[in-house]
RNA sequence: GCGCCCGUAGCUCAGCAGGAUAGAGCACCGGAUUUCUAAUCCGGCGGUCGCAGGUUCGAAUCCUGCCGGGCGCGCCA
């Protein structure tokens, strides 16, 4: 329980007594104080209560004060009534010291970079909650929730047709934080990487791979294909005749390749990510250019096939279980996923191969139990809604209908007045397509299959089955899709009131021009390149700082050697660079767009990752110095108490004591930026403390041990908080 | 046309379960270092909270309308 929870509880009891209402309905309006001079927390309820009680606000405040004060004897200084009727609460220093004093020493782990090594021999060790998903050994005294929930967090969702780019960055980073925070709170979290591996783009991927290898098999280079693609791309707006003419040689070539059985051997050849991407882009370009030209290729069975229809046909064949398509698909998927893991690792994201459960999983052959859950969705929808429309699902007031529209299978949803829930720009009812006219499935179908699976079949670590909460982390532009899909699943009775299903949205990453971030050439920014650049820029920065520090030391005749080895510097640069990128993404409210700016995110001052990492490194430095000068005292020994006489000590202590309410808020509202703000405030509070309160040179032993303990608590809190953000700290910078 | 998000200091953003004089950072100006990393700290400058109504003891916060920006609206995800 947080300190705020404690105050809320005590004040609620008092307010209930004064107002004559049940405690459960009494909102005591206890908030952190708006200004430090008003204390630490404040209760604002007296003003609004005065009206219903027909008395003066200050009198009401006095009655609440009288009722609650005895309960707060050990918690707060005498309450002050101020202004129109605010009740200002200042926590006793003793309460803060006691609250923080109860935080046990961290588990010491040999070899780990735990601050716990300080506490060797400490007895009050903590138990880590077994449901947690990553090796975090220090809970900083926070206990897990008593009633854990089974939670699914779906995030990242790369598409295997393309390598990961900035478009995947926010979902991956934000989703990872939410998974970590909820797991830390004690919930059972299952991460689901719902990769795009079964949709319309797969036809183009498979076709592209075939085409590329056929050309390479005939001696062409990838560059030649790339040049051809570039030439075609420029034709996309050209008149039909020009496009038809340009396509002519490609179509003949293609037809020839199709007849040449010797090329079939190429399907055994391994593919590269480069081929995959180029092939995909090439086919997409080809289709765009072929649109309306009537260009055809000759199939093996001598039939003519329209160019732009081929990818769709291949997708359909894949989904129908054709062996060739299936094999190629597997190759493309393997190579693309391996690449994704190559990003997740350095990026410090928890996702592993185990978390991958893509669209294909729900299709026949995508899993081990030979069930086609996409087909089951279709059947289910027909049963629930039927062709003539079912009755409104109880409680939702929403009625669904499954109808055929131009050959596609479409779900329409109506409210209790029979009005369509969704409309298109012409004001007509807007349906959700669950099966295309060519028989292929779409994302709506896989999403429906996935939610059914997660709520009914997904098995959790504890043995429990079915999620109680499902969180989708995707960009805000998909909002309408999620509204439709949720409404449909509710109307079908698949999502019940017993479960919580949320779409966690976020804004776009913009470039300096306020347009979606692109490379200078106008292409998408690859995540791989982004991370490399982050490390490179961080390294340059570190080298500059090191040189500047060297100069200063020469001036001061400081002979201390603070230089780090090249390898350590690289590792520091790597962590700082990645941290900067992640923190910049997380620090603002999710829903707003943010401008990607290297200089700002790598700045050493202000609300940035480097600033907080520096604060951590400074604390660790104190401990290194302590080891040199006075050995390593056990700051968690029973005799050590926290003294908070200096304002900076007290401010730091108060901040530390607010960790619980902060993490609770982040978990409740799914708002990582609230944690960022907290950590920045904590780092700033520590910096002020550092400036005004000598630690190792403190006046006496008791004060030194107290301050060393505060330092360690600050370090542990920073390490935990940054860890929840997926950011690794460093021992020195 | 309809729907969603956004509009707060020169810039980037917090604050929005209604609460006291609207807060940070950057930039700018001034100051602090015999001491644990100056990658720091302290002070100053800077705001009709897009506009207009309404609800309220009290509105950046809630409601309505308008203005400006972004996004979305059937066989892509």
At A1-49, the pLDDT tens digits run 899 999 999 999 999 999 999 998 888 999 999 888 899 999 999 999 9
pLDDT surpasses 50 at A90:
yes
> In this structure, are residues A115 and A107 in contact, taking their beta carbons and an 8 Å threshold?
no
| Mean pLDDT, range A598-618, rounded to an integer | 93
Comparison of pLDDT for A231 and A520, the residue scoring more: A231
- Helical pair A647-657 and A701-724, crossing angle rounded to 10 deg: 40
The CA distance from A587 to A594, in Å, is 10
Q: Compute how many other C-beta atoms are within 10 angstroms of the C-beta atom of residue A224.
A: 12
Q: Is residue A225 part of a domain?
A: yes
What pLDDT does residue A339 have?
A: 94
CA of A327, C1' of B19: distance in angstroms: 65
Q: Is residue A58 part of a domain?
A: yes
Query: Residue A424: which nucleotide is closest by CA–C1'?
Result: B73
CA of A606, C1' of B28: distance in angstroms: 16
Query: Residue A407: which nucleotide is closest by CA–C1'?
Result: B75
pLDDT surpasses 80 at A707:
yes
Q: Is residue A685 part of a domain?
A: no
Q: Is residue A556 part of a domain?
A: no
CA of A183, C1' of B34: distance in angstroms: 49
Please state, for a pLDDT cut of 70, what percent of chain A lies above it: 93
3-state secondary structure of A646: coil
User: Each residue of A313-340: pLDDT tens digit?
Assistant: 898 889 888 888 899 999 999 999 999 9
| Mean pLDDT, range A224-243, rounded to an integer | 90
What pLDDT does residue A392 have?
A: 56
What pLDDT does residue A199 have?
A: 84
What pLDDT does residue A217 have?
A: 84
User: Each residue of A451-506: pLDDT tens digit?
Assistant: 999 999 999 988 999 999 999 999 999 999 999 999 999 999 999 999 999 999 99
pLDDT surpasses 70 at A539:
yes
What pLDDT does residue A182 have?
A: 95
CATH of the domain at A12: 3.30.1360.70
3-state secondary structure of A205: helix
Comparison of pLDDT for A512 and A617, the residue scoring more: A617
Query: Residue A425: which nucleotide is closest by CA–C1'?
Result: B73
Q: Is residue A265 part of a domain?
A: yes
The CA distance from A27 to A10, in Å, is 11
Q: Is residue A49 part of a domain?
A: yes
Query: Residue A443: which nucleotide is closest by CA–C1'?
Result: B77
The CA distance from A658 to A695, in Å, is 23
Give the residue from A294, A320, A346 where a domain finishes: A320
Query: Residue A410: which nucleotide is closest by CA–C1'?
Result: B74
Rounded to whole angstroms, what are the CA distances from A17 to A53, A60, A471, A524?
12, 11, 40, 62
Please state, for a pLDDT cut of 90, what percent of chain A lies above it: 70
Counted domains in chain A? 2
CA of A589, C1' of B8: distance in angstroms: 15
What pLDDT does residue A581 have?
A: 95
pLDDT band of A130, cuts 50, 70, 90: very low
Q: Is residue A273 part of a domain?
A: yes
Q: Is residue A144 part of a domain?
A: no
pLDDT band of A713, cuts 50, 70, 90: very high
Give the residue from A320, A349, A371 where a domain finishes: A320
Comparison of pLDDT for A609 and A132, the residue scoring more: A609
What pLDDT does residue A260 have?
A: 83
Least confident of A163-177, A201-215, A424-438, A543-557: A543-557
- The average confidence (pLDDT) of chain A is 89
Q: Which nucleotides of B are covered by protein (CB under 7 A)?
A: 1-2, 4-6, 12-21, 23-27, 35-42, 57-58, 70-77
CA of A636, C1' of B57: distance in angstroms: 51
Taking C1' of B7 and every protein CA, the nearest residue is: A592
| Mean pLDDT, range A146-161, rounded to an integer | 95
Taking C1' of B13 and every protein CA, the nearest residue is: A588
Comparison of pLDDT for A524 and A90, the residue scoring more: A90
In degrees rounded to 5, what are phi and psi of residue A579?
Answer: -60, -40
Taking C1' of B26 and every protein CA, the nearest residue is: A606
Give the residue from A292, A320, A348 where a domain finishes: A320
What pLDDT does residue A127 have?
A: 38
What pLDDT does residue A688 have?
A: 95
Enclosing domain of residue A247: 201-320
């Amino acid at each position: 329980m947080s300190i705020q929870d404690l105050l809320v509880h005590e004040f609620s009891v008092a307010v209930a007594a004064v107002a004559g209402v049940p405690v459960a309905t009494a909102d005591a309006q206890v908030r952190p104080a708006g200004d430090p001079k008003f204390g630490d927390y404040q209760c604002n309820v007296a003003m609004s209560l005065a009206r219903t009680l027909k008395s003066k606000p200050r009198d009401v405040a006095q009655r609440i004060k009288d009722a609650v004060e005895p309960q707060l004897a050990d918690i707060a200084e005498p309450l002050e009534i101020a202004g129109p009727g605010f009740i200002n609460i200042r926590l006793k220093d003793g309460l803060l010291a006691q609250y923080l004093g109860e935080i046990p020493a961290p588990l010491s782990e040999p070899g780990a970079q735990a601050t716990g090594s300080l506490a060797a021999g400490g007895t009050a060790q903590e138990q880590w909650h077994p449901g947690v998903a990553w090796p975090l050994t220090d809970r900083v005294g926070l206990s897990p929730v008593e009633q854990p929930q089974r939670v699914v967090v779906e995030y990242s969702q790369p598409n295997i047709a393309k390598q990961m780019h900035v478009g995947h960055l926010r979902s991956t980073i934000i989703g990872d934080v939410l998974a970590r925070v909820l797991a830390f709170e004690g919930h059972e979290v299952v991460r689901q990487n719902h990769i795009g591996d079964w949709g319309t783009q797969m036809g183009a991927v498979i076709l592209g791979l075939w085409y590329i290898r056929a050309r390479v098999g005939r001696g062409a280079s990838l560059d030649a294909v790339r040049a051809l693609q570039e030439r075609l791309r420029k034709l996309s707006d050209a008149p039909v005749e020009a496009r038809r003419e340009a396509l002519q040689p490609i179509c003949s070539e293609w037809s020839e390749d199709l007849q040449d059985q010797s090329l079939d051997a190429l399907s055994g050849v391994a593919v590269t990510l480069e081929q995959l991407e180029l092939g995909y882009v090439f086919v997409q370009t080809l289709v765009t250019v072929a649109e309306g030209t009537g260009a055809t290729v000759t199939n093996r069975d001598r039939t003519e096939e329209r160019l732009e229809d081929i990818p769709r046909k291949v997708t359909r064949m894949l989904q129908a279980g054709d062996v060739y398509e299936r094999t190629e698909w597997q190759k493309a998927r393997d190579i693309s996923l391996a690449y994704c893991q190559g990003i997740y690792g350095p990026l410090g994201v928890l996702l592993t191969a185990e978390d991958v459960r893509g669209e294909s999983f729900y299709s026949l052959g995508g899993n081990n139990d030979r069930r086609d859950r996409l087909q089951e969705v279709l059947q289910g929808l027909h049963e629930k809604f039927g062709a003539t429309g079912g009755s409104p699902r109880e409680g939702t007031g929403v009625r669904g209908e499954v109808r055929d529209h131009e050959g596609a299978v479409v779900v329409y949803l109506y409210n209790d007045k029979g009005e369509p829930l969704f409309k298109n720009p012409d004001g007509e009812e807007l349906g959700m397509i669950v099966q295309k006219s060519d028989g292929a499935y779409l994302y709506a179908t896989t999403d429906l299959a996935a939610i059914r699976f997660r709520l009914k079949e997904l098995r959790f670590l504890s043995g429990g089955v079915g999620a109680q909460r499902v969180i989708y982390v995707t960009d805000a532009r998909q909002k309408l899709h999620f509204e439709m899909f949720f409404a449909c699943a509710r109307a079908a009775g698949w999502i019940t009131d017993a479960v919580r299903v949320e779409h966690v949205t976020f804004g776009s990453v913009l470039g300096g021009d306020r347009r979606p971030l692109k490379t200078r050439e106008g292409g998408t920014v690859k995540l791989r390149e982004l991370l490399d650049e982050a490390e490179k820029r961080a390294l340059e920065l570190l080298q500059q700082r090191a040189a500047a520090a060297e100069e200063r030391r020469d001036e001061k005749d400081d002979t201390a050697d603070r230089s780090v080895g090249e390898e350590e510097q690289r590792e520091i640069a790597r962590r700082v660079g990645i941290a900067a990128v992640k923190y910049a993404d997380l620090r603002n409210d999710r829903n707003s767009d943010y401008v990607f700016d290297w200089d700002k995110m790598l700045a050493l001052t202000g609300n940035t990752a480097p600033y907080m990492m520096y604060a951590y490194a400074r604390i660790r430095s104190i401990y290194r110095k302590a080891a040199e000068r006075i050995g390593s005292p056990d700051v968690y020994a029973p005799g050590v108490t926290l003294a908070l006489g200096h304002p900076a000590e007290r401010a730091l202590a108060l901040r530390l004591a607010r960790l619980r309410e902060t993490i609770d808020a982040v978990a409740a509202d799914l708002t990582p930026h609230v944690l960022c703000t907290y950590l920045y405030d904590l780092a700033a509070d520590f910096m002020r403390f550092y400036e005004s309160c000598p630690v190792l040179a403190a006046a006496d032993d008791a004060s030194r041990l107290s301050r060393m303990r505060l330092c360690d608590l600050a370090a542990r809190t920073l390490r935990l908080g940054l860890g929840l953000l997926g950011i690794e700290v460093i021992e020195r910078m």
